[in-house]
Amino acid sequence: MDSLLDYYLWIVVFHIVAVMSWMAMLFYQPRLYVYHTEHKEKKEFVEVVKIQELKMYKYIGMPAMWATLISGTLLIIINPALLTGDGWLHAKLFFVLLLVAYSFSLGYYRKELAKGNYSKKGSFFRAYNEVPTVLAVLIVGYVVTKTFSLSFTLITLLIGSFIIYKVLNHKPKEEKN
């Protein structure tokens, strides 16, 4: 264990880079789904987007997610004192689990779109694209402050929900007339 402790900060660096890579996929993948669904009649365009969806998800996002989870687990194993305190790490881990579920949901939607199943509209994916941002605000807030704040959590969730609601119900200019 002492030998791992010597590498603790390097593992933190690796963890941060892995998180950044994972978040890149989480932010961009739903945007690809918007393009896919809103241009489904353009077959050549859709074929290019399908390739981007696959590569972003399978070769960037999922390896980065696993690297994040493994390095994060290793950090807790090396420094179990992180689990003590007012519960900030527990809250972080809960929202990380939601990000993991979100990641797998993106894989599900990718497969459905690849098969030509368009059960969700572009507006859904625009709104869905806001979920990782809300979760990232919570996670980063806990990590930076090393504090769990119920008011911060509730306010962030309320603001995030409002933004998602507005995005979901946004009407393009041509539909407003």
**Binding site feature residues for heme:** 15, 92
Residue 9, SS3 per DSSP = helix
Distance between CA atoms of 103 and 56, rounded to whole angstroms? 12
d(Cα 130, Cα 117) in Å, to the nearest integer?
22
CA angle, 78 then 2 then 82, to 5°:
20
CA separation for the pair 113, 122 (Å, rounded): 12
Binding residues: 15, 92
Which residue in this structure is represented by tokens 């950090």?
75
